Amino acid sequence: MILKILTVAVFAFLYVPIIYLVFSSFYDDGFTFRNYEAILNDRNVTTAFFNSLNVAILSTLISVILGTLAAYSFKKRGHFLESLFYPPIVIPEITEAVALLLFFKMLEFPLGYYSVLTGHIAFNVAFVYVVVYARASSIEKSIEEASYTLGANEFQTFTKVVLPLLMPGIVAASLIAFTLSWDNFIKTAFTTGPGFNTLPLLIWSQAARGVVSPSINALASLMLLISIVLSYLYVRISIREE
């Protein structure tokens, strides 16, 4: 009984702030959509929205291609280089962020869209690799061997046999990669330059000064909604797979 009360209390602690945030985004002397209208008409918000979307889509696409190829090739033959894919996941983001910042400074590479994108791909590749690799190792070798026996070459075997089998893993990895990039803050903050804003940076610029405003509540709620939808899709896929 005590356990049950405690568990309920902990879940309330985790979710009340989020629910409160969403409620207050619709509140301004009564129920209203005004906060949402305000952010949709704000040029800064729309620009940042498309920047975020752009970086998230491109970094997902590139990292999925690189990560899937690597997962497939290591699944066929293990190699000590495999372990190169784990540190980007384990190491605290802030150390990676300062490392990238120094790297770009040293090359005198202008900070902005390309530096942010480059950084996002770096951690996404590692996450895609781990997720797709898990899927790849569940594919039995005999299936590929059958494909070769039936006369398919390596390319055909990959596109017509392996890729369809990897698909659930690739979709799951894409969802993770997109989400990580979409609401990434720390690495973006360290590697961005003047004029390139994403939605998390926009929220930060207000929130870091302790400002809680109705329009930021609306923006945060929208971002929250997107994260929840993506995670819901992910759960659906992984449940179906089981």
Partner 1 sequence: MKLSLPAIAYLAVFFYLPFAIVVAYGFGYPEFTLKHFFEIFNPIYAQFFLNSFIIAAITTLLCLLIAYPVAYYIAVKSKKWKNTLLILIILPFWISFLLRTYALMAILSKFDLLFTFTAVIIGMVYDYLPFMILPLYASLEKLKVSVIEASYTLGAKPLETFYKVMVPLSKPGMVAGCLLVFVPALGEFVVPTMLGGVSITTLGTLTWDLFIKYHNWWRGSALSVFYMIIVVAAILYYIKRVGRLEI
Residues within window 123-152 making contact with partner 1, judged by CB under 8 A: 125-126, 129-130
CA distance 41 to 49: 12
Identify residues 212-231 at the interface with partner 1 (CB under 8 A): 212, 216-217, 220, 223-224, 227-228, 230-231
Shortest distance, position 135 Cβ to partner 1, whole Å: 15
User: Sign of dihedral through CA atoms 218, 121, 155, 143?
Assistant: negative
Q: Does 50 bind partner 1 (CB under 8 A)?
A: no
Contacts of 50 (CB under 8 A, 6+ apart): none
Is 78 or 164 the residue whose CB approaches partner 1 more closely? 78
Distance set, CA 209 to CA 36, 212, 213 (Å): 22, 9, 11
CA distance 55 to 178: 9
CA distance 32 to 186: 33
Binding range to partner 1, per CB under 8 A, among 36-44, 121-129, 139-147, 162-170: 121-129
CA 144 to chain CA centroid, Å, is 31
Q: Which of 91, 143, 146, 163 binds partner 1 (CB under 8 A)?
A: 91
The gap between the terminal CA atoms of the chain, to the nearest Å, is 32
User: Sign of dihedral through CA atoms 158, 162, 167, 170?
Assistant: negative
Q: Which of 88, 112, 168, 193 binds partner 1 (CB under 8 A)?
A: 88
Identify residues 11-40 at the interface with partner 1 (CB under 8 A): 11, 13-18, 20-21, 24
CA distance 179 to 224: 11
Is 40 or 69 the residue whose CB approaches partner 1 more closely? 69
Please report, as a single letter, which amino acid is at residue 135: R
Q: Which of 46, 50, 79, 167 binds partner 1 (CB under 8 A)?
A: 79
Please report, as a single letter, which amino acid is at residue 75: K
Q: Which of 57, 58, 61, 99 binds partner 1 (CB under 8 A)?
A: 99
CA distance 178 to 160: 26
* Number of residues in contact with partner 1 under rule CB under 8 A: 78
Q: Which of 26, 34, 42, 74 binds partner 1 (CB under 8 A)?
A: 74
Is 94 or 143 the residue whose CB approaches partner 1 more closely? 94
Shortest distance, position 175 Cβ to partner 1, whole Å: 9
Identify residues 180-219 at the interface with partner 1 (CB under 8 A): 183-186, 189-190, 200, 203-204, 207-208, 210, 212, 216-217
Shortest distance, position 41 Cβ to partner 1, whole Å: 22
Backbone angles phi, psi at 189, to 5 degrees: -60, -40
